[in-house]
Amino acid sequence: MLYDNPDEPIYFLWRLMVAASHQGKGYGRQAIVHLIEYVKTRPRVTELLVSCHEGEGSPEGFYQALGFRRNGQMEEDEVVLSLPL
């Protein structure tokens, strides 16, 4: 689920879900790589954001391995990570 508004330079990945039985097979990584390629084609894009919970089972390391970094913001009880584009 992607917030995609061509009038705004910031895009937000609301949620990426991969069934537990398929995690660790590269599907999520490939989906994010394709998503980044798509978002880069959008007008005036400057960054892609994603949020996730902290602690055990958090996908934060997954997103960091793809270049996302914490930006100091919170989205409710989730940390926000940013990928400059």
- Burial level of 81, CB count in 10 A (0-12/13-18/19+)? buried
pLDDT digits (tens, 9 = 90+) for 14-54: 989 999 999 999 999 999 999 999 999 999 999 999 999 99
Q: How confident is the model at residue 60 (pLDDT cuts 50, 70, 90)?
A: very high
SS3 5: coil
pLDDT of residue 27: 97
pLDDT of residue 75: 92
Q: How confident is the model at residue 65 (pLDDT cuts 50, 70, 90)?
A: very high
pLDDT mean across residues, the chain: 95
List beta partners, residue 74. Answer: 79
